[in-house]
Amino acid sequence: MGSAPVQAQWGTTLLPAIDQPAPEFVLEDSQGHPRQLQDFRGQWVVLYFYPRDFTSGCTLEARRFQQHLDQFHALQAEVVGISADSVTSHRKFCEVEGLRFPLLADPAGTVSRQYGSWMGEMALRNSFLIDPEGVLREIFPIVSPSQHYAEVLTTLEDLQQA
């Protein structure tokens, strides 16, 4: 018999269950194109939620993911950011910071809520690691903007070697 799916609670927010299909979504990227989780099938997805474009911690976190993007791609992983900011804000943020990974606009917090990543009017700072079949493999409920990329890379390597 397999073990029961693990479902955790962060504050008053219920997180999705590990080892279960990740919640599907359709959101617009920084160019206004609809993107869905299925678009990334066949590769790992680092789905990270963050509060706001152009704030110090969020900018630092995005820069770190960008600086190490080639390492993620070498591990067949795509980095995808989600916040409540608009498509226009994401477009400007990507241009100013030179981001080459998708940022998705979730202004109503619908997807953020599905992932237990919503607080009031903005996304919480946390991340989810989704495997190539769309199964949630790891949750990072508390992250350091400056070092989170390293934690995700290490976990991704460990999961791929398991």
**Catalytic positions:** 58
Distance, C-alpha 138 to centroid of its chain: 11
Amino acid at 47: L
Residue 17's Cβ-side half-sphere holds a number of Cα atoms within 13 Å equal to 8
**At a CB cut-off of 8 Å and minimum separation 6, what does 113 contact?**
none
Q: Quick one: which H or E segment has residue 54?
A: none
Matching residue, tokens 């693990």: 6
CA 68 to the chain's CA centroid: 15
